[in-house]
C-alpha cells in the first residue's frame, strides 16, 4: 500500500506506530494510512463523509461504519471517544486490491481539487 501511494505521488510526512501521514499530490490535504496486520486502511477527514457513498460505489472499496480514532492523526478534528479527553478521528476505508486504493485516491484528489 505504501508503494502504491508513493507511485501516485502522495508524499509521506511522518510515521508513528502503525499510522503514516500522507498528503495528496498537489494539495495540502492530509490523510492517514493505518497498517494493522494485513489489512491496510486509509483514513480521511470526517468532512468527506458526504462523499462516503461515492467512495463505496468504487469496486473493492469498503467503508468502516464507525469513526477511526487515533491521537497520531493530528491534522484531523477531535471528539470525545471512550475517554475523558478528545481524540482525533476520521473515516476509515479498506480495499480489496491496490487498484481499488488507486481509484479511491484519484477520486479523493478530484473532490479536493473541485473536479
For the stretch 56-74, what's the b/e string if a residue is b when 16 or more beta carbons lie within 10 angstroms of its beta carbon? eebeebeeeeebbbbebbe
Cα–Cα distance measured from residue 14 to residue 10, given in angstroms and rounded to the nearest whole number: 12
- Fold designation for 2-112: 3.90.1150
- Cβ distance 91 to 53 under 8 Å? no
Q: What local confidence, expressed as pLDDT, does residue 93 receive?
A: 96
Q: What is the pLDDT of residue 84?
A: 82
| Tens-place pLDDT, residues 23-44 | 999 899 999 999 877 788 999 9
Indicate whether 115 pLDDT > 70.
no
The structure's pTM equals 0.91
Amino acid at each position: 500500500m505504501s508503494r502504491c501511494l508513493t507511485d501516485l505521488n502522495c508524499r509521506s510526512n511522518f510515521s508513528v506506530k502503525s499510522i503514516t501521514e500522507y498528503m495528496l499530490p498537489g494539495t495540502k490535504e492530509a490523510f492517514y494510512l493505518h497498517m494493522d496486520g494485513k489489512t491496510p486502511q486509509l483514513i480521511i477527514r470526517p468532512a468527506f463523509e458526504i462523499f462516503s457513498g461515492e467512495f463505496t460505489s468504487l469496486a473493492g472499496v469498503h467503508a468502516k461504519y464507525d469513526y477511526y480514532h487515533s491521537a497520531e492523526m493530528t491534522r484531523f478534528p477531535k471528539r470525545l471517544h471512550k475517554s475523558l479527553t478528545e481524540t482525533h478521528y476520521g473515516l476509515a476505508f479498506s480495499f480489496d486490491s491496490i487498484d481499488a486504493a488507486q481509484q479511491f485516491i484519484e477520486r479523493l484528489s478530484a473532490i479536493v481539487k473541485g473536479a
